[in-house]
Amino acid sequence: MSGFKDFVQSDLSTFFNSSEFATSHAINGKEILCVIDESLIHERRLQSRAEAVDGVFSKEIILYVKTVDIECEPLRGEEFRLDGSLFFVEEVGHIGGVLEITLVANES
């Protein structure tokens, strides 16, 4: 008998499908199907009390990737390359076989 977690795992192929939600990106040099969310991070940013420094702003994105597709779970503060751009890991969460990785890059 299959449980809820089994159904969630089988449904991941729907979300991580290049014809549906996912797109292929170079993550630390490896092409992986993932989902990038820049709108949710915008909402979180509006609720935060981050202070700006003149001439510097941060680019933030949330990256969703299947846990099995990433070789090693990233750690907070670690360097992370996405499509050749350097980011730093701000936060990592686990959601039913998916890693939710918040990435930050300082830009001027």
Q: How far is CA 37 from CA 2, 60, 62, 63, 76, in A?
A: 31, 10, 5, 6, 19
Give the angle subtended at the CA of 74 by the CAs of 69 and 80, to the nearest 5°: 95
How much is the pLDDT for 66? Answer: 92
What DSSP string describes 49-104?
Answer: -PPPBTTBEEEEEEEEEEGGGSSS---TT-EEEETTEEEEEEEEEEETTEEEEEEE
pLDDT of residue 59: 83
The model's pTM: 0.77
The mean pLDDT values, 10 residues at a time, for the chain of 108 residues are: 62 77 91 84 51 66 92 94 95 92 85
Instruction: Please give the structure tokens belonging to residue 18.
Output: 């290049």
